[in-house]
Structure formats: structure tokens, C-alpha cells
Amino acid sequence: MKIDEVYGAWKDEKVRIDIRESFSDEVMCKIYQYEQGRGGLLFDRQQIVEFIYSHRLVRVVLVAAAGIAGFVRIAFVVFMFLAS
């Protein structure tokens, strides 16, 4: 047996795979559970977090909004302090 034949046999072995028969059932079960849990919620918290993580612009807007809110709050406190 030549070396490239053995290499080919090794690749064939790496490609061979046994999957438990219930695999797709287990995935679908997980999905149905997820759907059931999601049904009662108006906002899916996990989805909101994922949405924020996956959109850079949303992250930038949220950080900017938080920064502005913080600045306004500090400015207000300073203004109140100086006014008194």
C-alpha cells in the first residue's frame, strides 16, 4: 500500500461518522421548548441582548446615550450646587 493510499484511507476514516438516531428529535425538542417559553414573553431578553451584540451601531448609540445621560446628570448636579 502506497503512502498516498494510506493517507486517503485516513481521510475516509475521518469522514465516517455515526450519529445517534435521536439527534434531530433532540434538536427539535430544544427548539419547541424555546418556542413555548418565548410565547408568553412580549420581549425576549436573550434576543434583545443578541441584537445589541450583533449590531455595532446599536452598541454605539446605547453607549453614546448612556454617556450623554451621565453628562447631563453631572451637569445638573453641578448647576444645582452652583445655584444654591
- Least Å distance, CB 63 to another protein, is 22
Smallest gap, in angstroms, from Cβ of residue 57 to another protein? 15
Q: Rounded to the nearest whole angstrom, what is the least distance from the CB of residue 62 to another protein in the complex?
A: 19
Of residues 49 and 75, the one with the C-beta less far from another protein: 49
DSSP the chain: --HHHHHHHHHHHHH-----TTHHHHHHHHHHHHHHHHHT-SS-HHHHHHHHHH-HHHHHHHHHHHHHHHHHHHHHHHHHHHH-
Footprint of another protein (CB under 8 A): 1-4, 6-7, 9-11, 13-15, 17, 19-20, 23-24, 26-28, 30-32, 34-35, 47, 50, 54
